[in-house]
Amino acid sequence: MAVNEFSENFLWGAASAANQIEGGWNKGGKGPSVLDIITNEKDGFLRLTTPEIDIDKYYYPSHEASDFYHRYKEDIKMLSEMKLKCLRVSIAWSRIFPNGDDEVPNEEGLKFYDNVFEELKKYNIEPIVTISHYEPPLALAINYGGWTNRKLIDFYIKYCETIFNRYKNKVKYWITFNEINCLIVPFGALTAGALLIDEEKNTEEVRFQALHHQFVASALAVNLGHNINSEFKIGCMIAYMCGYPSTCNPKDIIKAQQHDQIKNMLCSDVQVRGEYPGFAKRYFRDNGINILIEEEDYEIIKNGKVDFYSLSYYMTNCIGVDETKDKTSGNLIVGLKNPYLKASEWGWQIDPDGLRWVLNNVYDRYKIPIMIVENGLGARDVVTENKTVEDDYRIEYLRKHIEQMKEAIDDGINLIGYTPWSAIDLVSLSGGEMEKRYGFIYVDKNNQGEGTLERIKKKSFYWYKKVIESNGKSLENL
């Protein structure tokens, strides 16, 4: 193969998540998920409420989202026109088990995803399915205390068994947990861990306990999946929080390395290599973190290694000992500003070269196939008079990242797929906004939930179509 080329069967796609795209939050027997209690106040600020849902008083962005639940046929048809080879979706756990601990699954929920997968099949679009993307059933948070409770492992495995069996001939690629490492930071407590706790109780120890249960659950799911269909490819998914040393001061270098180990590598070491790394044990000791690990867990984790590594990559920042320097943040983590980088309107520092660094860093360590399952630019798009969106800034962002993917492939990395965030406009995770748009397709809806939900193809839609048709050769703007 010549240098700088994407493989012939490279999975060009786009990404989404059920809670951010589907809506239909209480339709077809679906129970509420933890995301369904998150409101968005008029000014666009996210606010966590008590578990009671008061739709007369508050606006909940996930309840209707982009209404994919009712419009999936139209949406998939449009996406097929962009020539997608794959689409990353998640299954809303509470559509299948409304309370998480139900005896029998909800047939209407199962049928919905049958329909979605059949629709994708019609256009030869391969589904990449996230089993848990920030949407555990709310009842598991209320009645069991979320993922700190070991019982969640059994509920999750029952859910996996149900969907693996049901979709074994329709889905090949699975991701056990979205951005599993975000449980290491406080933001992930409710969304990833189903932990309905206030700030005081949101400690590292609590979150690491929850995370440990997810490691066990993920490993069991990998095994179960392979037994149900040996063709299944089951991956981990890491939010890569890349932090460069802020200077060449050796203290900064060490601090940045420790950041990379704990925030990024700890989870994938467990999921890819099958054991806790030494630095995790030290971190637990140094920080007084005591978690309960059953003897059998070590064996389970060792026997449930993933088939591929997937990641989200949006930005980078810097890490250093001088905390007085200017700060910058994404949705998960705060770091120091990098004077060499420009940022998005939301302050996320744009760094295509960082993607090449990350891919090399990961591949050198694990030597298993890598898929980039999220990457994109959140921006305020404007619909023009002739009904399109001139999102050249998004094209620029994606183009530069794809160029670096090519470099990484030339460096020898086995990159198998790319699903930019997001397929169509959807609710933003960190602010509950609709107006922080990522999609190739515009969805007419604002932060207050007003709009016709009409779909409009953006300029990036036509550009990405050309990229896919040329298998990454043609990257120039239109």
Q: Which residues participate in catalysis according to the annotation?
A: 179, 374
Q: Minimum distance between the CB of residue 90 and ligand BGP, rounded to whole angstroms?
A: 9
Distances from the Cα of 413 to the Cα of 238, 327, 376, angstroms = 17, 32, 21
Number of residues that bind ligand BGP (CB under 6 A): 14
CB 40 within 8 A of CB 113: no
Question: How far is Cα of residue 282 from the mean position of the Cα atoms in its chain?
Answer: 28
Amino acid at position 201, single letter? K
Among the residue ranges 78-86, 120-128, 395-403, 421-429, the one whose residues contact ligand BGP (CB under 6 A)? 421-429
* 95 scored as a contact of ligand BGP (CB under 6 A): no
Q: Toward ligand BGP, which CB reaches closer, 236 or 301?
A: 236
Of 39, 149, 162, 178, the residue at the interface with ligand BGP (CB under 6 A) is 178
* 331 scored as a contact of ligand BGP (CB under 6 A): yes
Q: Toward ligand BGP, which CB reaches closer, 110 or 306?
A: 306
Q: Toward ligand BGP, which CB reaches closer, 436 or 445?
A: 436
What does the DSSP 8-state code read for residue 417?
A: E
**Spatial distance between the Cα atoms of 442 and 434, rounded to a whole number of angstroms:** 10
Between residue 342 and residue 381, which ones bind ligand BGP under the rule CB under 6 A?
Answer: 374, 378
Q: Toward ligand BGP, which CB reaches closer, 239 or 318?
A: 239
* 239 scored as a contact of ligand BGP (CB under 6 A): yes
Please count the CA atoms within 13 angstroms of the CA of 397 that sit on its side-chain side. Answer: 25
* 179 scored as a contact of ligand BGP (CB under 6 A): yes
Q: How many helices (H) and strands (E) does the chain have?
A: 15, 16
Residue 137 β-bridge partners: 33
Q: Toward ligand BGP, which CB reaches closer, 40 or 428?
A: 428
* 188 scored as a contact of ligand BGP (CB under 6 A): no
Question: How far is Cα of residue 78 from the mean position of the Cα atoms in its chain?
Answer: 23
Of 40, 428, 447, 460, the residue at the interface with ligand BGP (CB under 6 A) is 428
Handedness of CA 250, 288, 278, 262 (dihedral sign): negative
Q: Toward ligand BGP, which CB reaches closer, 119 or 433?
A: 433
**Spatial distance between the Cα atoms of 146 and 101, rounded to a whole number of angstroms:** 12
**Spatial distance between the Cα atoms of 428 and 381, rounded to a whole number of angstroms:** 14
**Spatial distance between the Cα atoms of 443 and 276, rounded to a whole number of angstroms:** 43
Q: Minimum distance between the CB of residue 374 and ligand BGP, rounded to whole angstroms?
A: 6
Distances from the Cα of 273 to the Cα of 47, 131, 177, 367, angstroms = 38, 21, 17, 11
Between residue 293 and residue 322, which ones bind ligand BGP under the rule CB under 6 A?
Answer: 312
Q: Minimum distance between the CB of residue 420 and ligand BGP, rounded to whole angstroms?
A: 11
Where do contacts with ligand BGP occur on this chain (CB under 6 A)?
Answer: 17, 20, 178-179, 239, 312, 331, 374, 378, 421, 428-430, 436
